[in-house]
Amino acid sequence: MPLANDLAAIPGLIDAVENKGSIDDRKLLLEHALVFMSNLPPDNPIRQKGQGAVISMLYNDLPHPPASFIGDQYRFRAPDGGGNNTEEPDLGRAGTPYSRSVPQVHPLPLNELPDAGLLFDCLLKREKFEPHPAGLSSMFFAFATIVIHTIFRTNHKDVGINETSSYLDLSPLYGNSQKDQDEIRRWDGTGRLWDDVFSEDRLLLMPPAACTILVLFNRNHNFVARKLYLINEAGTFKDPDTLTDEQKRAQDHVLFNTARLINVGFFISVVLGDYLRTGLGLIKEASDFALEPFMDVPQSNDTHLARGQGNSVSVEFNILYHWHSALSKTDEKWTQDIFHRIFGDKKPEDITIEEFTRKAYEATRAEKDKKKWTFGGLERQDGRFKDEDLARVLQDATAEPAGAFKARGTPAVLRVIEIMGIAASRRWGVCSLNEFRKFLGLKPYDSFTEWNPDPEIATAAMRLYKHPDNLELYVGLQAEQSKPAVDGSNLCCGFTIGRAILSDAICLTRGDRYLTTDWTANNLTAWGFDDASRDPTNPSFGGMIGKLISRNLPGKFPDNSSYLWFPFYTPDSIKKSFTNLGIAGDYTYSRPVALPPIHQVADRENVLKVIQDNVDFRTLYGKKIQVMVGDRSGFFLAFNKPEDYILRQTIHETLVLPSGTYFQDYFYNTTKAVLQELDFTLASHKQKCLDIVEVFSTVVARFVSEEIGGLSLKSQENPDGTHTEHDVKPMLEDMYSYVFVDTEAQHVFRLAKEAKASCETLLEEIKHSYQSANGLGSLLERISGLFYKRHGASYAFMRRLHNTGKQSEQLITAVLAAVVASFEYVPVLVKIVYFYLDPKNVEHYTRLVKLSTSNESYDQATIQGYVREALRLDPLFASTRRSVVKDIAIGGSEFKSGSLVQLDTAHANLDENAFPDPYQINPSRPADSYTLMGDGLHKCFGDEFVQSTLASAIRAVFELKNIRPAPGQSGVLRGFKDPQDPTSEFRFLNSHSVITPFPTSLTLQYDV
C-alpha cells in the first residue's frame, strides 16, 4: 500500500493492525489517510475505495436509527410495556397479539387429531412421583412460575391476545396497565408500593412460594425507592410533607419509575444469575460464569449484533413453558386441596374447561382490594405478612424436591389445565414438534422411539399419531425424553425445550431496550445501577436471589446458609456437589433458625452497664476475628476474654506510655507535611485545594507503617518498598469493616476473603519487622532484614514489646490489631473537620482557627474538647451490639441468654445529666464524661491518646488560611441517613457506588 511509504503513518498502521477496535488516535492514522487520498488524482481507484471505506466507517460509528432518546417518556418503562422499540412502539405491548415463530406447513387437521383428554391419560398423567435428577427444588419452579406469568397471560375470550407484555418487566408485581399500577401504588411522594401487594391474581391459586417471592420483590421495590430518596444523587428529592399535591405526584413519578427500573433489573439478574445458571449446572460447579446477552457483539462486517429492538413472545414459546410435571409432592397435595375447595368432590376428569374458567375466575376475583389479598393460609399483620411466615414458605420450598420432567409426570389434578393448553395450541394452529426442531436447527425425529425410548410411551404415541411428523408441539414437548443431569444441563427437561429456552432467554433480555441501550447509571442512578448488577464475588458466585431474601427478610437466614444462597437446589443436592469440590465447609445446610431477637437500649445508665459488663455480655466481633486471623491468638479487639485486656494493656505500656507528647507532635507534623504534598493550585494561584480524605488516609498509612507495624512503604527514599500509601488504606478498610461494620449479607463473603488476604499479607510483614527488630528468625531472614528498609520508631516499639516476654506470635497479632484499629482515624478525622466547617457551627470554627493558628492562643486541651464534642454529636457509629451470655435484668427489662442488645450510644451521649444542654457544643465539658466513644480506636489506644492525636491533626488543618469547603458538590460530604431509624448512621457511596460508613472524598480549599 503506498500509504506505508509515508514514514509518519507507519506507527498508526501498526497500531491499527494490532489493536482493531481500540485504535490509538494520537498516532493520527485517519489524518494521514485523508492526506494520502487528497494527493491522489480524482479518478484514482484507490482514492475512490479509500473514500468509501472512510465514509462507511464514520457512518457506522453511529447507530441508525438512534438507539435511545432523552426524556422520561423514553427513560421509564410504560405500564403496558409499549414503546420498548421506539420505532414500533406497539411491539410487545400488553393487549397485542401473540406472534408466530414457525408456520405450520405439515398439515395437522383438527378432525384427525387425538382427543385431548385421551392424550393426557395416555402420555401425560403422572403414574408416580420421581424427584428431579439434578436436585432442583420446588423453589426453582416457584420462580419459574413468576417468569412464565410475566410474559404470558392469554385472553380467554380471544386466545390470540397476550394480556401482558413481551418483556421480563415483572408484570406479576406491577401489572399491565396504569390502572393496575394505581391499585398498588401509594402516590405519596415516596415512590413506594403498598406493603406486600402485587397484581397477578392467577398466582393466588398456586402454591404459596411464588406469591412469597413476589412479596419480596414488592419489599425490594420499597427498599430501593427509600434508598433513592435518601441518597438523592441529583439532589432533587424533597420531604413529601413540604410539597404540594402536584409536586408530590411529580416526585412520586420519578421515584417509582426509577425504583421499577432497578427492581426489574434486579429481577433480570436473578433470572440470569440464579435461574438460568441453575438450569445450566454452573452453580453446582461453583462457577461465576453466566451468559451475558446484553454485551456488544461485533460482527464481521464492522456492524454489531442488534440489541434493544424489542420483542414479541410467540405461541410456540407459550407452549414451551408448561412445566407441570415438575410439581413437587407437597405442591401436588396443595393443588389438590385448592381444587377441592373450588370444585368440591368432583374428579379431575369431570371438570370441564368452561367450569374451570368460570370458577377459577370467581376464586381470584373475590377480593378487589389487593392490599387485602392473602395466600397459602398466611395472614396480614398491619398490612404486612409476618417475616417468619414468608421465611417458612421459602424454606419449605427449598427443602422440597421438585418433580422430574418426564412423560406421564403431570399430576392428575391438572388434567383440565393440560387439556386447555392442548386446545389453545390447536386453535393457534401451531407447528408440529419436528417443524419446531427444524426451526431451531435440530434434527427432526425419524421415529417415536427416537423421541422417547420408553417403549410404552413410544407405542402409545405411535398409535395416537401414526407418524412422528404428526406429533403435536404441545404433547411432543411434554412427553419427550429428558436430558440427563450432566455438566451444562441441570434443568433436565426435554431435549427440545432445553435448546429452545436458551434462545428465548437471550431474545427476551437482549431485545429489551431498558436492559441494553438504556441500561445506564444515569437512568438507574449510580447506586441503583450497582445494586441491580450481579457480583461474581458474592457467596453464590454471582447469584442474586440470596441478596433479595436476606435484604427483605432480615435475620431469618444465617449469612452462610445454603437455603439463602442456593434455594433453587435442595440442601442435600448442593451439599453433595460442594463436598466434591471441597467447599462444603463454607456453607451450612440445616434448616435455618431465626437470629435471636434484638432488644433496644437507649438509656445512658443502662447502656453503660451493658458496655462495662464483659461477663454477662459479649461483643459480636469474636467470630469474625477468628475467621480473619484463624487460630492465632492476640487480636485483642473483641475484648471478650481477660487476655484481650492484658494485650491491650501491653500495647498501652509499650506504645502509648513511653511516648509522652511524641505522637501529638507526630500527627501534627505529618498532617502538615501531607497537606502540602497533596494540594493543587487553582489557575489564579491564589487558592489551593486538597482532598482531605486522601490526606488523612496518607497520614494513617504512614502512622501504622512507621510507628507501629514496620511496613515498608514505597517512596523516593525507598523505591523498593512493598506498598504505596494508597495500597495500605483499602487493606486496613477491608479488615476494619469486616470486624466492626454490619455489612449486608451479600458482601460479607467477599469482604471476609479480602480481609483474610490483607491480614495474611500484613501479618507476614509485621512478623518480618518484629524478627528484624529483635534479631530473630533464620540467618537468611536476619541478613535480608538489613536490606529491607523500615522505620526505626516501629523497631523500638517492637523491641519493647519483645521485652515483655510474651509469645512472639501473640504479640505480632496484637500489633496487627492496633494497625487495624488505627484505620478509624481516617473517617473520624474527616467527620470532625466537616463538622466544624458546617456554617451552623461558624462560631466554633472561628475559635478553632484562632486556637490553631496563634501560638499565644494555642490550647491543646480546648481543641481536644472540640474533638470530643464532634465525636459525641456526630459519631461514626450511632450504636453497637452485644450478645447476652446468661439471663439478666437491666433497667427493669429481662434479657434472655442468646438474645442481642442494640445499644443506642448516640442517644446516650445526649443525656442531659451527663451533658447539660446536650445539643450545644461545649468544649469545656469534663473529659471523663465521654465514656461511650466506640469499640475500636478508643478502646485500643485509650481516650487520652486518641483525642490528643486527633486534636493535633485537626490543628494542622485549621492552620490553613481561610480553610473552607470547595465550591459546589466537591465541597459537600454527600452522606445520608434514615431519619426514621434512630440508630442509623451516615452512609456514603464509594467510587464503586457501594454504600459504606466511611467518607470517600471531600475537597477543601484555602488561600495561599
In sequence order, what are the beta bridge partners of 842? none
1 pLDDT tier (thresholds 50, 70, 90): very low
Above 80 in pLDDT, residue 979?
Answer: no
219 pLDDT tier (thresholds 50, 70, 90): very high
CA proximity to 941, closest of 721, 652, 626? 652
Number of other residues whose CB lies within 10 A of the CB of residue 409: 23
Distance CA 434, CA 443 (A): 8
Q: Mean pLDDT over all residues of the chain?
A: 92
Of the chain, the end-to-end C-alpha distance in Å amounts to 59
Above 90 in pLDDT, residue 974?
Answer: no
pLDDT in tens, 384-399: 999 999 999 999 999 9
Residue reference for cell 484562632? 850
Question: How do 1003-1007 and 964-965 pair as beta strands?
Answer: antiparallel
Distance CA 574, CA 900 (A): 31
Handedness of CA 923, 928, 932, 935 (dihedral sign): positive
pLDDT in tens, 128-146: 999 999 999 999 999 999 9
pTM, two decimal places: 0.91
Cβ(649)–Cβ(661) below 8 Å: no
- Give the cell for residue 455: 417403549
Distance CA 505, CA 840 (A): 55
The string over 415-425, giving b where at least 16 C-beta atoms fall within 10 Å of a residue's C-beta and e elsewhere, is bbbbbbbbebb
Portion of the chain with pLDDT greater than 70, in percent: 96
Distance CA 671, CA 186 (A): 51
Cβ(576)–Cβ(585) below 8 Å: no
Q: What is the mean pLDDT of residues 890-917?
A: 93
Distance CA 2, CA 37 (A): 10
12 pLDDT tier (thresholds 50, 70, 90): low
Q: What is the mean pLDDT of residues 188-192?
A: 97
pLDDT for 4 equals 45
Portion of the chain with pLDDT greater than 90, in percent: 77
The string over 230-245, giving b where at least 16 C-beta atoms fall within 10 Å of a residue's C-beta and e elsewhere, is bbebeeebeebeebee
Indicate if 64 belongs to the active site: no
Q: What is the mean pLDDT of residues 217-222?
A: 98
- Give the cell for residue 156: 380467554
pLDDT for 269 equals 97
Above 60 in pLDDT, residue 785?
Answer: no
Above 70 in pLDDT, residue 784?
Answer: no
pLDDT in tens, 618-629: 999 999 999 999
Ordered structural domains, the chain, with CATH: 2-60 (no CATH), 126-431+495-524 (no CATH), 603-1007 (1.10.630.10)
pLDDT for 793 equals 84
In sequence order, what are the beta bridge partners of 385? 380
Distance CA 473, CA 9 (A): 61
> 65 preceded by cis ω (within 30°)?
yes
pLDDT in tens, 661-673: 999 999 999 999 9
Question: How do 900-903 and 995-996 pair as beta strands?
Answer: unpaired
The string over 580-618, giving b where at least 16 C-beta atoms fall within 10 Å of a residue's C-beta and e elsewhere, is eeeebeebbbeebeeeeeebebbbbebbbbbbeebebbb
pLDDT for 437 equals 97
- For 105-248, where are the E strands, in sequence order? 161-162
pLDDT in tens, 801-832: 999 999 999 999 999 999 999 999 999 999 99
β-sheet with 1003-1007: strand ranges across? 680-681, 687-691, 1003-1007, 964-965
Name the CA dihedral angle for 729, 734, 735, 739, rounded to a multiple of 10 degrees.
130
Q: How far is CA 7 from the centre of its chain?
A: 52
pLDDT for 515 equals 95
Q: What is the mean pLDDT of residues 340-367?
A: 88
Cβ(711)–Cβ(772) below 8 Å: no
Cβ(261)–Cβ(218) below 8 Å: no
756 pLDDT tier (thresholds 50, 70, 90): very high
DSSP-assigned letter for residue 383: T
Above 50 in pLDDT, residue 335?
Answer: yes
Above 50 in pLDDT, residue 3?
Answer: no
Task: Write the DSSP string, 910-973.
Answer: T-TTTSSSTTS--TTS-GGG-----SSHHHHH-HHHHHHHHHHHHHHHHTSTT-EEPSGGGG--
Distance CA 191, CA 741 (A): 29
Alpha carbon separation from 625 to 117, 171, 559, 673, 685 (Å, rounded):
64, 45, 16, 35, 49
DSSP-assigned letter for residue 192: P
- Give the cell for residue 699: 497520614
Distance CA 835, CA 833 (A): 5
- Give the cell for residue 105: 406447513
Residue type, 410: T
- For 753-801, where are the E strands, in sequence order? none
Q: What is the mean pLDDT of residues 591-604?
A: 90
Q: Looking at 32, 132, 149, 322, which residue is catalytic?
A: 149
Name the CA dihedral angle for 317, 322, 328, 329, rounded to a multiple of 10 degrees.
-170
677 pLDDT tier (thresholds 50, 70, 90): very high
Cβ(608)–Cβ(719) below 8 Å: no
Q: Is 863 helix (H, G, I), strand (E, B) or coil?
A: helix
Q: Where are the alpha helices (DSSP H) in 152-310?
A: 171-174, 178-184, 208-231, 245-270, 276-279
pLDDT for 45 equals 85
Alpha carbon separation from 459 to 408, 469, 675, 867, 928 (Å, rounded):
14, 15, 86, 87, 90
pLDDT in tens, 851-893: 998 776 678 999 999 999 999 999 999 999 999 999 999 888 8
Question: How do 995-996 and 1003-1007 pair as beta strands?
Answer: unpaired
Distance CA 337, CA 609 (A): 55
Cβ(271)–Cβ(263) below 8 Å: no
Alpha carbon separation from 44 to 31, 47, 51, 223, 579 (Å, rounded):
19, 5, 11, 66, 71
Above 50 in pLDDT, residue 2?
Answer: no
Gyration radius (Cα) of the chain, Å = 34
CA proximity to 270, closest of 588, 554, 538? 538
Alpha carbon separation from 871 to 692, 709, 858, 929 (Å, rounded):
18, 27, 21, 13
Above 70 in pLDDT, residue 612?
Answer: yes
Q: What is the mean pLDDT of residues 427-456?
A: 97
pLDDT in tens, 463-508: 999 999 999 999 999 999 999 999 889 999 999 999 999 999 999 9
Residue type, 692: I
Cβ(776)–Cβ(790) below 8 Å: no
Cβ(444)–Cβ(470) below 8 Å: no
Distance CA 904, CA 911 (A): 12
Q: What is the mean pLDDT of residues 268-278?
A: 96
Q: What stretch of H or E contains 524?
A: helix 521-524
Alpha carbon separation from 346 to 118, 340, 497, 950 (Å, rounded):
19, 8, 33, 79
